[in-house]
A and B are shown apart, each in its own frame.
Chain A
Amino acid sequence: MRRAAARIACITGCVALVATVGLVLVAGSGGVAAEPLAPSVKPTATLSVGQSIVLKNTTPLVGDQEIYPPSACRGKAASLDESVAPLTCKAYRIVLNLDPDPRADNTVFIEADFNQTQLPSLPLVALGLNPPPVNGLDVYVWDQEDHWLGENAPGTLDPVTGPGDPNDEPTGAASFNEPERGGFTAKQRIYDITVQADAGVNQGYDLHLTFSNEIFTAPHEVLDQFGNTAAPSDTSSPEPTFTPPADTSSEAPTIALPEASVTPDQDIAGIGLGTTQEFNPNGFALPPRTRDVAATAKPPSGVALVLGLVAVPLATAAVGVFALRRRRQALLT
């Protein structure tokens, strides 16, 4: 479990505490090593880049608020207080085959899967907060026998106040979370990892460790049919200054062009369009607005008017008179 502020074990009283804190700060800052990891411990696992392992534990662990060093978890208590450590934590020694590639970030990812119980707490729920769970675990990574990663990070020092060591990054695996998830960038070959019960009784866990150099090849990408792989050029760049061409029309020689015979274009479709365009017949499928109009013709000429208005009527009348006289004469005879 996840202390709001990490605790530093007070083993031999307050004077010793101050001395310990000072020593830890030096270690965390990359100065004089406090106490290196015990060299005689048999490695639990040796990891190469790309490897993953799962460390299982089915032994119940009893929760404790103190953070015990790896040696104490292994049963080598340095004090009476530490004698209970094997009941609350497990320690693992890992050896890393670091990738020497300068691009490599030799990183170990940690995940501890387990079951914890979220107890209801009405006052906290009323505040919108989750109460601390029980049966949880914390994972600590030790680069020294008496220093775990993140111990001196800003904001985790208790009772020390101050900026801490910004280079002492916490692994993130000591929290209220289930699963616990974290990681660290390896700066040495050997680390100890402790898994410790926090509150209640943990009934077992799976500890997943994955070692990565964080070097990846670019994923395969299917490009468009033109196979472009480069970013497009920026079309926003200012266009070149436009310089109008000089007017040389006065210098143009007079050209006498021979007349050519022109064949009239009988095909009106396509007028005004480019060579790759054509009228969309659907565009003319709009509902027609119709109206009736009369077709016009040429007006009659003056001769036609005279003939039509004068000559023809007079001739018709004359013919009629003539026909009527002949008919009357025939009747009389």
Chain B
Amino acid sequence: MLIALIVLPSALNLPQTNPSTTLEYAPVPPQDDTTPPPIGNFDQFGLGQSSSINTGGAEGGDQGTQQSDPGKNRSTKRCVQTPKGPKQTEDPLAPPCVPDYPNCNQNGGATYQGVTGNEIRIILYEDSGIVDTGTSRGDESRPANKYYDLDQPEAQDEHIYARLTRGWAKYFEDRYQLYCRHAHFWVYYGSRSDDGPETKRADAADNYQKIQPFAVISDSLASNDAYLEAMTKRGVLNFGAFLGRQRSFYQQYPKLVWGYSPTLEDQAQEYADFFCKQIKNASDTTTFAGGDLVGKKRKYGLIYSTDKLHPELQKLKDLVMTNIKQQCPIDQANIPNATWDTCCYADNNDPQTDQTYGRTQMAKFSDPRQAGGPVTTIIWPGGMESKFSDAAAQMNYFPEWVQLGDAETDGFVSTQYQNARAFGGHAVVVTYQTKKVKFEEEPCFLAYKDADPSAPDQDIRSRACDLYERFRQLFTGIQVAGPKLGPTSIDKGYHAIPKIASDDPGTPACFYNTDDYSCVKDGVAMWWDANATAPNSQNAGCWRMVQNAKRYLYGTFPQQEFTTTKSPNDPCNGYGGHALTFLSARNP
């Protein structure tokens, strides 16, 4: 019995025969709290053009470049890892990473004019006759008819745009896949901005004869089309902001002209979509007017410029009114008009201009004796002008202003010249601009610093960032084209970009529809707060971005009364405007 008591417990144990070791794969959680970056149009982008490209295996930050290590292949790129996969840079619009292209001898060599097996020739075109003020070197007068070859050492008196292009060239060559080719830049200062088209054509002929570039990034202000047309005739690709252009402008030169800004048709469509869904169809009575107009039945008026030097504004007006007529016809016997001539100055105090036009026309708009009463809601399809709001405030007339953003009317700098009483809380703008934060936090600023940490901040802020979108578009095209670089491969690469919305306020949806060659495809609505201060501004007045700057693809604004989308805590946009011109000093 004693033996039984001793043996029994061991008999209930599991037999200890042949202990073994088995492998177990345990999931390893991420070791950081990094927020996944926003979705960009390239996140689902497949490189259909470059079947030979190895798209996997990128690791961030340790690859280096040929500039820093001549022993490495020129194609080796420094990508960044994101939850959406490795990408070329931190920018949400950067293409998927192509970390290396080892088959340099298979890139096709001279696949197009301006392209060889190891070089892509590119010109940045600038007007002359301009003094660039407030640079890190003070005020810099532009040379004329002068080339800067950026493969040569920097000249002591090199102008600011040549210096800045060195930084961008380095950045994109470091970070984007160029398939063993070097981006060889020239910066050319041509004729004056106010010279005529013959002069610009002569510039183009000279550029082509001397450089025979693959592509041109144009920063020309005037007569730009003549230069562009002359270059496209020669088969040169053109990249630029190209503000205020119709779709047909691009379609004249298929595959050769690529722009960042939306076409006039897209802008008009976005404006009309917002106007119909959130203003007209949402309420028959005013919702953000002031004074005697609060809660009144809406009556619409129209403000536009008749300046012959800005035909794009008349076209924009026509497109907007056509869209409105189609989407939400205005049931009025007539729509009162107010016009002005000399356009697009923040404050037009030109002594040759009749300064009474603002008062005269606002008196007409505010007249309660007219049929249907005073105009309560003003349709304003672009063009900067501040006399109307001044006149309206003087009359204690506070209508709703519904503006279209044209890169100036949607910037805080020029809008701060609008009358604060008239615009504060009573103005809304529909724009394609993205949300801008402090300059030092902007992706373009950080990108430039990445390439040139010693670059003066003020030069980056005031000028380099203005060029970023154009450079990014060009180098994106070069990468997505694949090794066989040419306009057709660029066209195919761009049109393969997935057409998805952006969920990042700082990033537009950027893709290309059929026969479409412009990038931005979405927009936002903003309302004017006369008391708040925008990032990058020291003065009162900012455009607040509703719904935390949520962006809507064209035609997709929600059917919701506008004021229900806004909040006093809506963020201010740090976008100041692309250019600002004063016809004369502002009156005290």
Which A positions have Cβ atoms within 8 angstroms of B?
107, 109-111, 127-130, 149-150, 153, 155, 169-172, 175-185, 210, 212, 214-216, 218-225, 228-229, 231-237, 286, 288-297, 300, 305, 308-310, 313, 316-317
* Minimum CB distance partner of B230 in chain A: A214
Task: Known A-B contacts: A177-B191, A219-B234, A309-B4. Give 18 more (CB < 8 A).
Answer: A107-B201, A107-B205, A129-B131, A129-B141, A155-B194, A169-B198, A184-B198, A214-B233, A221-B111, A224-B489, A228-B488, A231-B255, A235-B495, A290-B21, A294-B19, A295-B18, A313-B3, A317-B3
Query: Is the pair A172, B196 in contact by a Cβ cutoff of 8 Å?
Result: yes
Chain B contacts of A308 at CB under 8 A?
7, 11
Query: Is the pair A216, B24 in contact by a Cβ cutoff of 8 Å?
Result: no
A-B contact pairs, 21 of them (CB 8 A): A107-B201, A111-B202, A111-B206, A155-B194, A170-B195, A170-B199, A171-B198, A172-B195, A178-B144, A183-B202, A210-B205, A212-B205, A231-B495, A232-B492, A236-B499, A292-B21, A293-B22, A305-B11, A309-B4, A309-B7, A313-B7
Docked CA distance A282–B23 (Å): 16
Chain B contacts of A313 at CB under 8 A?
3-4, 7
Known A177-B128, A218-B235: A310·B19 in contact at CB below 8 Å:
no
Query: Is the pair A310, B111 in contact by a Cβ cutoff of 8 Å?
Result: no
Query: Is the pair A236, B7 in contact by a Cβ cutoff of 8 Å?
Result: no
**Interface centre among B138, B513, B514, by most A CB within 10 Å?**
B514
Chain A contacts of B133 at CB under 8 A?
128
Query: Is the pair B511, A236 in contact by a Cβ cutoff of 8 Å?
Result: yes
Query: Is the pair A222, B486 in contact by a Cβ cutoff of 8 Å?
Result: yes
Closest 4 CB pairs of A and B: A128-B139, A172-B199, A234-B514, A183-B202
Query: Is the pair B110, A234 in contact by a Cβ cutoff of 8 Å?
Result: no
Separation in Å of the A150 CB from the closest CB of chain B?
A: 7
* Minimum CB distance partner of B134 in chain A: A128
Chain A contacts of B514 at CB under 8 A?
233-234, 236-237
Known A130-B141, A236-B511, A297-B15: A223·B489 in contact at CB below 8 Å:
yes
Contact of B196 among A153, A220, A234, A290 (CB under 8 A): A153
Docked CA distance A290–B406 (Å): 63
Query: Is the pair B482, A172 in contact by a Cβ cutoff of 8 Å?
Result: no
Chain B contacts of A210 at CB under 8 A?
205
Separation in Å of the B216 CB from the closest CB of chain A?
A: 14
B569 interface residue, CB < 8 Å from A?
no
Query: Is the pair B25, A286 in contact by a Cβ cutoff of 8 Å?
Result: yes
Separation in Å of the A234 CB from the closest CB of chain B?
A: 4
B8-22 with Cβ < 8 A to chain A: 8, 11, 14-22
Separation in Å of the A194 CB from the closest CB of chain B?
A: 17
B145 interface residue, CB < 8 Å from A?
yes
B484 interface residue, CB < 8 Å from A?
yes
Docked CA distance A122–B4 (Å): 117
* Minimum CB distance partner of A178 in chain B: B145
Separation in Å of the B516 CB from the closest CB of chain A?
A: 9
Separation in Å of the A104 CB from the closest CB of chain B?
A: 11
Query: Is the pair A181, B202 in contact by a Cβ cutoff of 8 Å?
Result: yes
**Interface centre among B49, B205, B484, by most A CB within 10 Å?**
B205
Chain B contacts of A289 at CB under 8 A?
23-26
B482-496 with Cβ < 8 A to chain A: 482, 484, 486-489, 491-492, 495-496
Query: Is the pair A181, B20 in contact by a Cβ cutoff of 8 Å?
Result: no
Docked CA distance A233–B513 (Å): 10
Query: Is the pair A219, B112 in contact by a Cβ cutoff of 8 Å?
Result: yes
Q: Mark each residue of chain B from 177 to 195: 1 if its CB lies under 8 Å from any CB of chain A, else 0.
A: 0000000000000011011
Chain B contacts of A236 at CB under 8 A?
499, 511, 513-514
Docked CA distance A290–B197 (Å): 76
Query: Is the pair A221, B486 in contact by a Cβ cutoff of 8 Å?
Result: yes
Query: Is the pair A231, B486 in contact by a Cβ cutoff of 8 Å?
Result: no
Chain A contacts of B499 at CB under 8 A?
235-236
Chain A contacts of B529 at CB under 8 A?
none
* Minimum CB distance partner of A229 in chain B: B488
Docked CA distance A297–B19 (Å): 11
Docked CA distance A179–B190 (Å): 11
Contact of B202 among A129, A178, A182, A290 (CB under 8 A): A182
Chain A contacts of B495 at CB under 8 A?
231-232, 234-235
Separation in Å of the B97 CB from the closest CB of chain A?
A: 19
Query: Is the pair B139, A127 in contact by a Cβ cutoff of 8 Å?
Result: yes
Q: Mark each residue of chain B from 74 to 111: 1 if its CB lies under 8 Å from any CB of chain A, else 0.
A: 00000000000000000000000000000000001111
Query: Is the pair A295, B141 in contact by a Cβ cutoff of 8 Å?
Result: no
Separation in Å of the B236 CB from the closest CB of chain A?
A: 9
B113 interface residue, CB < 8 Å from A?
yes
B570 interface residue, CB < 8 Å from A?
no
Docked CA distance A150–B198 (Å): 10
**Interface centre among A216, A232, A297, by most B CB within 10 Å?**
A232
* Minimum CB distance partner of B24 in chain A: A289
Query: Is the pair B20, A222 in contact by a Cβ cutoff of 8 Å?
Result: no
* Minimum CB distance partner of A217 in chain B: B235
Docked CA distance A210–B204 (Å): 13
B555 interface residue, CB < 8 Å from A?
no
Chain B contacts of A172 at CB under 8 A?
191, 195-196, 198-199, 202
Docked CA distance A130–B128 (Å): 12
Docked CA distance A16–B128 (Å): 37
Query: Is the pair A150, B110 in contact by a Cβ cutoff of 8 Å?
Result: no
B469 interface residue, CB < 8 Å from A?
no
Docked CA distance A235–B270 (Å): 22
Known A223-B488, A231-B254: A294·B14 in contact at CB below 8 Å:
yes
Separation in Å of the B153 CB from the closest CB of chain A?
A: 22
Contact of B492 among A218, A228, A296 (CB under 8 A): A228
B203 interface residue, CB < 8 Å from A?
yes
B469-503 with Cβ < 8 A to chain A: 482, 484, 486-489, 491-492, 495-496, 499
Chain A contacts of B21 at CB under 8 A?
290, 292-293
B140 interface residue, CB < 8 Å from A?
yes
* Minimum CB distance partner of A313 in chain B: B3
Query: Is the pair B49, A222 in contact by a Cβ cutoff of 8 Å?
Result: no
Chain B contacts of A288 at CB under 8 A?
23-25
Separation in Å of the B178 CB from the closest CB of chain A?
A: 16
Chain A contacts of B113 at CB under 8 A?
219-220
Known A220-B112, A236-B499: A297·B17 in contact at CB below 8 Å:
yes
